[in-house]
Structure 1
Amino acid sequence: MTLIARAGALAPNGESTVEESPLLLAPSPDREASRDPDVAPHSLDAGITWACLTSGALMCLSPLQYGYHIAELNTPKGIITSCDKGAVHWASLPLCLPMNDAMFSLATSIFAVGGLLGSLSAGWMAERWGRRGALVYNSASFVLGPLLMALAMSPAMLIIGRFVSGIGSGVAVVIAPLYLSEIAPVKYRGTLNLLNQLSIVLGILATLTVGMLLNEGPYWRLSVGFGLVLACLHLSVIAFAVESPRYLWSRNRRAEARNILCKLRQTANIDNEVAGWQSIAHSDTAGEQPARLEASCETPDPDNAHELPLTGNTRNDTVKANDEDEPLELRSERNSVTIFNIFTYAEYRKPWMLVLLLQFGQQLSGINTVFFYSSSVLEKIFSSHASSILTVMIGVLNVLATASGALIVDRFGRRPLLFSSMAAMAVSVTLLGVGLALKLNMLAVVSLYLVVASFAPGYGPVPFLLGTEFFDVRAAGAGGSWALAANWVGTFMVAVAFLPLQNLMGEWVFAIFVSALIVCGVVFYFKIPETKGHTIEEIAKKLK
């Protein structure tokens, strides 16, 4: 029996159908070979195809918005809090929002509170609506937040807008890396996953650039409102990204999962890759026949690109809407792993603790205080205009260093990249503290760039990558939520404690960051395995 399925439709017999993406409609040059599993290349040996890269890039517009929002108030702080009397007045909107440092700090840090809530809810959203669907719903936060900030009539309205944008950002940085790991070929999972961190740093660079160009009069409203443009862009193109085939498989939508996987890999020889998913299917179907593993996808004919033929045993490959037994979705929810019960499963306790330490330790490295401190250090030596340009150059360096990590993470592995990054950071942060303590301004400036160059290719992206590799699809959402929650908590704690500790300890405060890098490095050396080239199921076995 052959089903002709279209996006979002049900077949007449009530069976679920394949959800299409326009990315899957382009015919492959190797179409005839890819249909024959005996001659087609194996999907476990596949590279990154255009369909895979494009889907990943489109989904990464979500963490790009996180990067934009996290730094959007840094450059325009002065014109937001104090009015330029000679500036053009826009209608009934106040020229500025006068507030003291404590109020502005609240506006900045409330973003982390929203991010924490978003991270904790992201796992549930990813399981309820899928990876792509969750980011579609999450766009509401990225639309509402910038609107509130751009039209703010009071500091309170600006703070609420930051909080709402923080919620969207928390969801984005959980789901995007999870999605990238689930669509990526095994050999290039690290490379594709670093699109997440690259998107974040591109967002930071964008907000630094926009802030510099619009750092005058009432134009700060355009700067904070630019996030609305990014949100609308993401909503307009996200339909072109496919849903994660691993997620579809876990929801017993197996025909869809196999067809999407074939298109992502550009081969029909997917048997071994799909076989590794058998243990993660969300069903307790005792006595039920296992899903058939033969390749069941065909590249659509270019003359009938709107139709996706599915072949095979439809009884096992689809979920019937009129099934008399308990629906598989209900059984899936009953047996699901959530943020509330993940640590009750013995197999998830160790990876859960490791991802918490990875993300919390990342913030204890002091990277965000370095970013916060950069402007004041640069302004001691250069003019205000020159220091703003040099701050943007830090953003450029951040992007270039992150991109370099993407090129080598699947060649040298996660462990070498992580440990070399942490070691270089320990040296760079030490030099920064020495430069500031001895008032060696040029040493301090050079150290700022060295810290960023050390962090960006390794300790920045690798914790996000490992957080998606340590959990199978059953616990991926909950594990990712906890990981990013630890990151947000660490961000908030360091931001709140840094200035009081600096007033108490002087530049010796940087010794805390260096000590954290050393302690975390030792723990990671003995506890974190190399994950390069291993499937997620194989990694899960290593961590038991």
Structure 2
Amino acid sequence: MSSSGLRQCIRDVSPYLILLVAISTLGPLQFGFHLAELNAPQDVVSCRVHQYQSVSSRLSSALSYISSSASRDNSQVATSSALPDCIPMEDAQFAVVSSMFTLGGLAGALGSGPIASAKGRLLAMRLTSLFYIVGSIIETLGASVAMLAIGRIFSGVGAGAATVIVPIYISEVAPPRERGTFGAMTQVSINVGILATQTMGYFLSYGSAWRWILAAGIVIAAVQGFGLLLVPESPAWLAANKSATQARRVLQRIRGKNYDIAEETAAWDDSAVAPEEEGLLDEPSAPGLRRDSNTSKASGKNGGHLGFLEVVRDPLYRPALIAAVGVMCAQQLCGINSIIMYSVSLLRDLLPINSALLTIIISAINLITTVACSPLPDKLGRKTCLLLSIFGQGTSALVLALSILFETKILSAITVLFFVAFFAVGLGPVPFILASELVGQEAVGATQSACLGANYVATFLVAQFFPIINVALNERFGGAGWVYFIFTALAVLCGLFVLWRVPETKGKKDVDEVWGRTRRLD
């Protein structure tokens, strides 16, 4: 960002706006937190305690003081709870527990769009905090595989809804010139959650102390719930569904007393008050398709709000839906969650340093590179960043497979870091903003929900089958690392898909211009 652009950003952004973004992004933060919460303590949770005794013994005095004021030694902490220290699980059972989070996420992603549209963004975000609290409580008190799975389903519902609603809310409260920057905060907050839970896992992976990791989710969700009492409804939603006057008051409060909101609210008197102008994303920088007689027969249904089946059936929107859903699937199929969710157990015996510590380093690099690379989509283009990211992850997967196979430990550790860094270049942030730039406002709600739904399906496939396929390939061919040849092949396929089916949206003034330069939609 140039110095003039930075000064403009400072003028546009009020402290109140920063507070709203900080509170709302606690939702995606918990997505990252719950996604990775079982990674570091996996062997402890599943009763393979002996593998973490060295960490436990080193930290017993400090952790026992924190965990229980009534106990002064580590063994007392481990046995003082009425809950079991661990829950016996095989790899397949652990995979089921992990993947239940993504099934809940799928339900939350598909169901949150209609609620946010009909009842408002604020109510929908408050419901996510409720699901997070319930899920975290069940997980913390879980004494069986079934209880852990049920808790993760509830947490997943909250996560799926949050990853749909929060980007919508942020796009509607952020200044138009800074929407790209603030849009990246969703991915940044996810990475903060991942880093937090991986760090806690490094210190609390012993005895029954892993339950403190899960209990932290209750605290975060409670903070989110109370914080949302300070958050107003989206001005764009108010203008479309309630009162333009009320919407202006809220927007003026968000921008500050001396900020001129006339340009942002110019269209509200004429059309934004009408329900047909209300979409799940209200972003002037990505205006909808022209409403003429040739646009779409479906555009007149549901007050201008199209459902998923209407978007699928309409040839006008189908190419955009395929492109957006394909990119969301590519985000997961290139293998990022094989590292985020299973890196400790996968890399435990393969790398020259403690794998739990390496996971913290990985999460930190993921966060740092996401922040550093957030301007790249606006500078290099969305499609270019996606292709760079996919190529980098595919190459890293190939090198990782070979380095693990030939037991080149230093190279394996370095390659894992590059694997995560390349994810932040494009596959991390771009899929969350692409849907709003590929379709008009009348279809963006259905498209966004479909994209997040596809993302959770792909995440479920990786979470459920990665450890099973990894073990099967290692037993079949001997050695380890064979599964990353599969991710290499998937990266090639994803790269070809992006190259052929995803248009560049950088610098395009509207959706018509995006698709007019690539293919006809009639």
TM-score, structure 1 normalization:
0.76
Q: Which residue of 1 aligns with 2:22?
A: 57
1:143 and 2:133 matched: yes
CA shift, 1:118, in A, is 0.9
Q: Is the 8 A contact 2:308 2:446 kept in 1?
A: yes
Q: Which residue of 2 aligns with 1:417?
A: 385
Question: Residues 186 and 414 of structure 1: is their aligned pair in 2 closer, same or farther, counting only changes over 3 Å?
Answer: farther
1:542 and 2:519 matched: no
Q: Which residue of 2 aligns with 1:31?
A: none
SS in structure 1 opposite 2:337?
helix
Q: Out of 113-122 and 519-528, give the one that drifted further.
A: 519-528
| Residue of 39, 43, 47 corresponding to 1:74 | 39
Question: Residues 374 and 83 of structure 1: is their aligned pair in 2 closer, same or farther, counting only changes over 3 Å?
Answer: closer
Question: Residues 147 and 509 of structure 1: is their aligned pair in 2 closer, same or farther, counting only changes over 3 Å?
Answer: closer
Question: Residues 391 and 124 of structure 1: is their aligned pair in 2 closer, same or farther, counting only changes over 3 Å?
Answer: same
CA shift, 1:540, in A, is 5.9
1:212 and 2:181 matched: no
Paired AA for residue 492 in structure 2: I
Paired AA for residue 112 in structure 1: T
Question: Residues 227 and 462 of structure 1: is their aligned pair in 2 closer, same or farther, counting only changes over 3 Å?
Answer: same
Paired AA for residue 525 in structure 1: L
1:394 and 2:362 matched: yes
Paired AA for residue 452 in structure 2: L
Paired AA for residue 513 in structure 1: F
Give, in whole Å, the separation in 1 of the partners of 2:176 and 2:504. 13
Give, in whole Å, the separation in 2 of the partners of 1:264 and 1:173. 22
Q: Is the 8 A contact 1:181 1:468 kept in 2?
A: no
Q: Which residue of 2 aligns with 1:318?
A: none
Q: Which residue of 2 aligns with 1:451?
A: 419
Q: Is the 8 A contact 1:44 1:272 kept in 2?
A: no
Kindly provide the CA deviation profile for residues 413-470 of structure 1, in whole angstroms up to 9, marking residues without a partner as x.
3233222222222221221122123222222111100000111232111111213433
For 1:220-231, what aligned pairs fall within 5 Å after superposition? 220-231=210-221
Q: Which residue of 2 aligns with 1:300?
A: none
Q: Is the 8 A contact 1:178 1:476 kept in 2?
A: no
Q: Which residue of 2 aligns with 1:343?
A: 312
Question: Residues 276 and 462 of structure 1: is their aligned pair in 2 closer, same or farther, counting only changes over 3 Å?
Answer: farther
CA shift, 1:187, in A, is 3.0
Q: Which residue of 1 aligns with 2:348?
A: 379
SS in structure 2 opposite 1:494?
helix
Q: Is the 8 A contact 1:126 1:175 kept in 2?
A: yes
Paired AA for residue 342 in structure 1: V
CA shift, 1:155, in A, is 2.3
Give, in whole Å, the separation in 2 of the partners of 1:111 and 1:533. 37
For 1:229-378, what aligned pairs fall within 5 Å after superposition? 229-251=219-241, 253-266=243-256, 267-271=259-263, 274-275=266-267, 282-283=274-275, 336-372=305-341, 374-376=343-345, 378=347
SS in structure 1 opposite 2:142?
coil
Kindly provide the CA deviation profile for residues 376-418 of structure 1, in whole angstroms up to 9, marking residues without a partner as x.
454335578x322121111111110111122444344323322
Q: Which residue of 1 aligns with 2:69?
A: none
Q: Which residue of 2 aligns with 1:166?
A: 156
CA-based RMSD: 3.1
Task: Give the percent of matched residue pairs that are identical in Structure 1 and Structure 2.
Answer: 33
Give, in whole Å, the separation in 1 of the partners of 2:387 and 2:174. 24
Q: Unpaired segments of 5 or more residues in structure 2? A: 1-7, 50-73, 278-299, 516-520
Give, in whole Å, the separation in 1 of the partners of 2:232 and 2:35. 28
**Count of matched residue positions in the alignment of Structure 1 and Structure 2:** 454
Give, in whole Å, the separation in 1 of the partners of 2:92 and 2:321. 35
Q: Which residue of 2 aligns with 1:107?
A: 97
CA shift, 1:54, in A, is 2.9
CA shift, 1:47, in A, is 4.1
Q: Which residue of 1 aligns with 2:497?
A: 523
CA shift, 1:255, in A, is 2.1
Paired AA for residue 71 in structure 1: A
SS in structure 1 opposite 2:184?
helix
Q: Is the 8 A contact 1:67 1:202 kept in 2?
A: yes
CA shift, 1:136, in A, is 0.5
Paired AA for residue 449 in structure 2: S
Question: Residues 138 and 433 of structure 1: is their aligned pair in 2 closer, same or farther, counting only changes over 3 Å?
Answer: same
Give, in whole Å, the separation in 1 of the partners of 2:223 and 2:383. 36
TM-score, structure 2 normalization:
0.78
User: Of the two, which has the highest radius of gyration?
Assistant: 1
CA shift, 1:208, in A, is 0.6
CA shift, 1:141, in A, is 0.7
Give, in whole Å, the separation in 2 of the partners of 1:82 and 1:500. 19
Q: Unpaired segments of 5 or more residues in structure 1? A: 1-42, 286-330
Which is helix-richer, 1 or 2? Answer: 2
Question: Residues 260 and 345 of structure 1: is their aligned pair in 2 closer, same or farther, counting only changes over 3 Å?
Answer: farther
Q: Is the 8 A contact 2:134 2:154 kept in 1?
A: yes
Paired AA for residue 435 in structure 2: G
Give, in whole Å, the separation in 1 of the partners of 2:269 and 2:485. 46
Q: Out of 359-368 and 81-90, give the one that drifted further.
A: 81-90
SS in structure 2 opposite 1:341?
helix
Paired AA for residue 482 in structure 1: A
